[in-house]
């Protein structure tokens, strides 16, 4: 099927159909959905080579990953959502891996010079991200997965990490816990700093003093979490509850609790952040895991949509989305134990 055939079937102009398929912001949402559904039903796919000639685009977006911690299950889920949506538009993802911060900056400069990508995904931002400033200087369009404090407008999608941790911490405080440990992400990354703000706000609101010994910052791995939780459980007084930054972290904490001869949900409580991995279901754990919940795969899908809108001409200052985070209470969070 040709673009002309699809347009005639819908009773629309070829220009409108083309703009709807390519995410142009001036096309009404109802029209975009109608065109996308018809294209899927009738098997229409644009000619990639013709599209690139017509638009001057490379037909690819870029992603630079640094370090082993960025190549784990979180990135896999994110790429599944991002790649699935981009594939519907015949847009490829160019993934570059580097070993250091300087190599990462060099990779952005190389991609800009080669013009191999039309835009970038910028992930795991810091509070004042040098990479965002560089991409702005290089004039490479990008969407930020998270937020950063730069003076120029940037497009971003983020979840309410501050609100999520404030709610989770407040719930544990309501249950009588006062020694609440936080196993957070790498220090300096915006999401980790925002989570710490929520945690501290909840403690402060109840007049509970902050204990630095109950705060850990690291990559989200089972082994690191196990060792952190193990050392915290040896403190006196020990923590009675944990806030785990991911389900991978929760596995390590759970292992430390069991090794200490304690029962999750009775002797020690836990609330974890769940990125909704298909192979690690909080409902299927024993006991079931209380979580703050937000799908990283859905975030990847939406990031693709936002990139398409940006490439279609939507101003970056209008591309800001902050997603609420659901608190799902299950068996792992119970009343504070009586010593």
**Res 312: pLDDT:** 87
Per-position pLDDT tens, the chain of length 339: 788 899 999 999 988 988 888 777 788 889 988 998 998 888 887 665 555 555 667 889 999 998 766 888 899 999 999 999 999 888 999 999 999 999 999 999 999 999 999 999 999 999 999 999 999 999 999 999 999 999 999 999 999 999 999 999 999 999 999 999 999 999 999 999 999 999 999 999 999 999 999 999 999 999 999 999 999 999 999 999 999 999 999 999 999 999 999 999 999 999 999 999 988 999 999 999 999 999 999 999 999 999 999 998 899 999 999 999 999 999 999 999 987
pTM, two decimals, is 0.84
**Res 211: pLDDT:** 98
**Cα–Cα nearest to 325, from 210, 191, 202:** 191
> For the chain, what are the domain ranges?
3-46, 60-159+297-323, 161-295
Q: String of b and e for 297-330 (b: at least 16 CB within 10 Å)?
A: bebbbbbbbbbbbbbbebebeebeeeeebebeee
**CATH number of the 60-159+297-323 domain:** 3.40.50.2300
CA dist., res. 102 & res. 280, Å (int): 35
User: Are 145 and 78 spatial neighbours (Cβ–Cβ below 8 Å)?
Assistant: yes
**Res 198: pLDDT:** 98
Whether 60-159+297-323 shares its CATH topology with 161-295 is answered yes
**Res 52: pLDDT:** 59
Given 1.10.10.10, 3.10.580.10, 3.40.50.2300, 3.40.640.10, which CATH number is that of 161-295? 3.40.50.2300
What topology is assigned to 3-46 in CATH?
434 Repressor (Amino-terminal Domain) (1.10.260)
């Amino acid at each position: 099927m040709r673009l002309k055939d699809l347009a005639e079937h819908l009773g629309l102009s070829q220009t409108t159909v083309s703009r709807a398929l390519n995410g142009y912001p001036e096309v009404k949402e109802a029209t975009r959905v109608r065109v996308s559904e018809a294209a899927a039903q009738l098997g229409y796919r644009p000619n990639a080579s013709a599209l690139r000639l017509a638009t001057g685009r490379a037909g690819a977006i870029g992603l630079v990953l640094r370090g082993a911690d960025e190549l784990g299950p979180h990135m896999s889920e994110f790429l599944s959502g991002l790649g699935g949506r981009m594939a519907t538009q015949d847009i490829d993802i160019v993934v570059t891996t580097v070993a250091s911060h300087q190599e990462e900056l060099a990779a952005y400069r190389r991609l800009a010079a080669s013009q191999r990508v039309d835009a970038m995904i910028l992930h795991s931002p810091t509070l004042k991200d040098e990479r965002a400033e560089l991409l702005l200087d290089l004039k490479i369009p990008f969407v930020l997965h998270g937020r950063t404090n730069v003076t120029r407008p940037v497009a971003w999608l983020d979840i309410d990490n501050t609100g999520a941790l404030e709610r989770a911490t407040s719930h544990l405080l309501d249950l009588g816990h006062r020694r609440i440990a936080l196993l957070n992400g790498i220090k300096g990354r915006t999401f980790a700093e925002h989570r710490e703000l929520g945690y501290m706000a909840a403690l402060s609101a109840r007049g509970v003093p902050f204990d630095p010994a109950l705060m850990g910052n690291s990559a989200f791995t089972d082994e690191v979490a196990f060792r952190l939780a193990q050392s915290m459980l040896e403190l006196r007084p020990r923590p009675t509850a944990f806030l785990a930054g991911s389900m991978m972290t929760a596995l390590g904490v759970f292992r430390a609790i069991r090794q200490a001869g304690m029962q999750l949900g009775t002797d020690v409580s836990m609330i974890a952040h769940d990125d909704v991995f298909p192979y690690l279901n909080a409902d299927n754990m024993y006991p079931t895991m209380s979580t703050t919940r937000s799908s990283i795969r859905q975030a990847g899908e939406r990031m693709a949509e936002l990139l398409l809108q940006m490439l279609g001409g939507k101003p970056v200052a209008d591309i800001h989305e902050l997603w609420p985070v659901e608190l799902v209470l299950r068996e792992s969070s119970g009343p504070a134990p009586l010593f």
